[in-house]
């Protein structure tokens, strides 16, 4: 069976983790600091704050953006459920908005959902296709809202010539194995705002005023204070040492993924009724996933297609979920009308795309897909 995704990890990562285990410093310490520095260099943001996941990254980003109990935050329903959950963790209410053809937030629909309670917007760069950051930056400044980018899937992507991570005040990344690079689990927030970076660094470590490294480096006793109620959202040095090796490979990884996507684009183009991913001018995707929308003229049912592909030895998956239809939100959001999201959700399919995929595997996927669609 050809899997839908696979992490791209090698001896370099294994050795780095091995060395860190034996170094005596295993949780947040020098490796985390070095990994953050590498993220700053790569994205050209001013600061990077490593945390335990993208979910916790989003939670801290929302707090840093000033989101509080009773506020509303607009986000797409069509996203992994952690986007909405992070809003609830911050005490606020997610307000779901519609998406466009690239599965990214529709700026006009978002505008219509802004109320006096709206505090922030989470723009998700869905499956590694950047959203229109400039349009949302303009809307947020017009309405006095904070913008948070959910770049869980978007490390290595670019928007208008610059890497995702440097455009807006708060950008959250995931390092889960289903994403483009991984530390097992992990996350990162990049920001150009020094105060926000400091607050998030405080909050990820119980609100503690002195870091372990500072205490370790001091030759006098250091007594810390707990400045506010914080969290344990630390990334470990073991994870960070893996991340450092992954970052060295990132540009190669993105190149390899793009080559596979380009083959899919070329060889699936002649099947009628399919909508393949579109990379607009100024948008560069890392193809975290390859999502195909089955148009109305395609007779086959999406869920049946998944079964048929499985019978051909190829794993596929439903496209991105719709959070408002999950039991966690369907009760509280019963009046939510998102016909476009629901249609995209029911008619899209993800096909295998992973960095080390061979030409032969790509050919197998293409042949199976053509066969199942009778093309």
Ligand X SMILES: *Cc1c(COP(=O)(O)O)cnc(C)c1O
**Residue 240: exposure state from Cβ atoms within 10 A (0-12, 13-18, ≥19):** buried
Q: What is the rounded radius of gyration, in angstroms, for the C-alpha atoms of the chain?
A: 21
* Distance of alpha carbon 32 from alpha carbon 205, whole angstroms: 13
Told to check if 153 binds ligand X by CB under 6 A, we report: yes
Q: Does 187 bind ligand X (CB under 6 A)?
A: yes
Distance CA 72, CA 110 (A): 12
Q: Are strands 146-151 and 47-51 parallel, antiparallel or unpaired?
A: unpaired
The residue among 58 and 373 lying less far from ligand X, judged by its C-beta, is 58
Cα 364 from Cα 352, distance rounded (Å) = 10
Q: Please state the closest distance from residue 173 (CB atom) to ligand X, in A.
A: 8
- Distance, in Å, from the CA atom of 318 to the CA atom of 305, rounded to the nearest integer, reads 10
Nearest 5°: phi and psi at 297?
A: -80, -10
- The partner residues of 2 in beta bridges, in order of sequence, read 314
Binding of ligand X by 124 (CB under 6 A): yes
Which part of the chain contacts ligand X (CB under 6 A), choosing from 25-33, 75-83, 105-113, 227-235? Answer: 75-83
CB of 135 vs ligand X, minimal distance in Å: 19
CB 263 within 8 A of CB 276: no
Nearer to ligand X, 189 or 351 (CB): 189
Q: Does 152 bind ligand X (CB under 6 A)?
A: yes
Asked if 54 touches ligand X (CB under 6 A), the answer is yes
Does residue 190 belong to the site contacting ligand X (CB under 6 A)?
no
What is the torsional sign of CA 71, 75, 81, 86?
negative
Q: Which one of residues 17, 51, 82, 365 is an interface residue with ligand X (CB under 6 A)? A: 82
Q: How far is the CB of 149 from ligand X (least distance, A)?
A: 10
Residue from 150, 247, 293, 324 touching ligand X (CB under 6 A): that is 150
Query: Given the rule CB under 6 A, which of 11-19, 48-56, 140-148, 347-355 is the region that contacts ligand X?
Result: 48-56
CB of 27 to ligand X, least distance (A): 18
Q: Segment contacting ligand X (CB under 6 A): 41-49, 146-154, 233-241, 267-275?
A: 146-154
The verdict on 203 binding ligand X (CB under 6 A) reads no
In the complex, the smallest distance separating the C-beta of residue 126 from ligand X, rounded to whole angstroms, is 7
30-43 and 237-268 are packed helices; what angle lies between their axes, rounded to 10 degrees?
Answer: 30
Q: Give percent helix, percent strand, percent coil of the chain, each to the nearest 5.
A: 40, 20, 40
Among 8, 35, 39, 80, binds ligand X (CB under 6 A): 80
Distance CA 335, CA 46 (A): 41
Closest contact distance (angstroms) between CB of 375 and ligand X is 30
User: Among residues 83 and 158, whose Cβ is nearest to ligand X?
Assistant: 83
Q: How many other C-beta atoms lie within 10 A of the C-beta of residue 47?
A: 19
Active site residues: 179
- Residue 290 binds to ligand X (criterion: CB under 6 A): no
The pair of structure tokens assigned to 189 is: 């927030």
Task: Compare residues 174 and 241 and give the one whose CB is closer to ligand X.
Answer: 174
| Binding footprint of ligand X on the chain (CB under 6 A) | 53-55, 79-80, 82-83, 124, 150, 152-153, 174, 176, 187
């Amino acid at each position: 069976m050809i899997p839908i995704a696979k992490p791209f990890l090698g001896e370099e990562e294994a050795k780095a983790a091995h060395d860190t285990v034996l170094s005596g410093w295993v949780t947040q310490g020098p490796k985390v600091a070095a990994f953050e520095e590498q993220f700053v260099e790569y994205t050209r943001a001013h600061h990077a704050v490593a945390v335990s996941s993208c979910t916790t990254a989003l939670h801290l980003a929302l707090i840093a953006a000033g989101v509080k109990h009773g506020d509303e935050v607009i986000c797409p329903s069509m996203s992994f459920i952690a986007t909405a959950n992070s809003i609830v963790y911050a005490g606020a209410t997610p307000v779901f908005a519609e998406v466009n053809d690239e599965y990214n937030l529709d700026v006009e629909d978002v505008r219509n959902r802004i109320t006096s309670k709206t505090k922030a917007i989470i723009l998700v760069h869905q499956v590694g296709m950047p959203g229109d950051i400039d349009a949302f930056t303009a809307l947020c400044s017009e309405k006095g809202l904070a913008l948070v980018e959910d770049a869980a899937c978007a490390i290595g992507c670019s928007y208008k010539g610059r890497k995702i991570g440097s455009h807006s005040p708060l950008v959250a990344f995931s390092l889960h194995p289903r994403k483009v690079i991984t530390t097992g689990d992990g996350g990162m927030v990049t920001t150009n705002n020094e105060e926000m970076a400091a607050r998030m660094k405080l909050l990820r470590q119980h609100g503690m005023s002195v870091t372990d490294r500072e205490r370790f480096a001091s030759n006098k006793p250091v007594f810390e204070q707990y400045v506010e109620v914080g969290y344990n959202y630390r990334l470990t040095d073991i994870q960070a040492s893996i991340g450092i090796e992954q970052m060295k490979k990132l540009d190669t990884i993105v190149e390899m993924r793009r080559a596979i996507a380009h083959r899919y684009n070329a060889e699936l183009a002649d099947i009628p009724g399919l909508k393949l991913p579109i990379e607009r001018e100024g948008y560069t995707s890392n193809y975290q996933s390859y999502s195909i929308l089955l148009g109305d003229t395609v007779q086959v049912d999406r869920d049946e297609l998944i079964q048929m592909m499985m019978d051909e030895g190829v794993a596929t998956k439903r496209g991105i979920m719709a959070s408002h239809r999950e039991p966690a939100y369907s009760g509280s959001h019963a009046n939510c009308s998102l016909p476009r999201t629901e249609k995209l959700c029911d008619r899209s399919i993800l096909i295998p795309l992973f960095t080390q995929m061979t030409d032969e595997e790509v050919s197998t996927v293409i042949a199976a897909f053509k066969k199942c669609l009778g093309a």
